[in-house]
Amino acid sequence: MLDGLYLWLKAFHIMAVIAWMAGLFYLPRLFVHHTERAMGDPGQEQVFQIMEAKLLRVIMNPAMIAAWVLGILLILSLGVGSVFSQGWFHVKLLALVGMTAFHMWLAARRKDFVAGRNTRSGRTYRIMNEVPTVLMIVIVIMVVVKPF
């Protein structure tokens, strides 16, 4: 049933991943500026909280859900056995779970800002900003090169 839709599913999956990655790159940068420039300034604090909430709720959450759903549909269209028997897929799936965990970590940090409980520095958020890059590199190499 999904065979004829494979290329459409793949195209929309790629678009969802791009949108999700954009948010995963941008939200930690917002946290850096929020921490270093807005803390203690109620006006700026509110602006950052609105930006962070909208990025997470309007772009990142829907994109993550779409990427997962479309990815699962792609697997189903190829046949579960054909993908799950390959080593590269297990590494890719592990990196994807890591990406999702990072997304959830960012959502928890946003709640910390809202509650006035942020204890992390701008440096911490700069370092954490590298996490999605590393995971993206692993995922792309696994999917394109399929080294094992």
| Domains in the chain, number | 1
CA distance 71 to 123: 34
Residue 106 CB coordination number (10 Å): 23
End-to-end Cα, the chain, rounded Å: 29
Does the pLDDT of residue 34 top 90, yes or no? yes
Domain with 112 in it: 3-144
pLDDT digits (tens, 9 = 90+) for 75-94: 999 888 888 999 999 999 99
Amino acid, res. 143: V
| Cα dist from 92 to 20, 40, 41, 71, 146, whole Å | 16, 41, 42, 12, 10
pLDDT of residue 1: 62
Please determine, for residue 142, whether its predicted confidence score (pLDDT) is greater than 90: yes
Q: What share of the chain is helix, strand, coil (3-state, %, to 5)?
A: 85, 0, 15
Residue 120 phi, psi (nearest 5) = -90, 150
- pTM reported for the whole predicted model: 0.94
d(CA 89, CA 14): 17
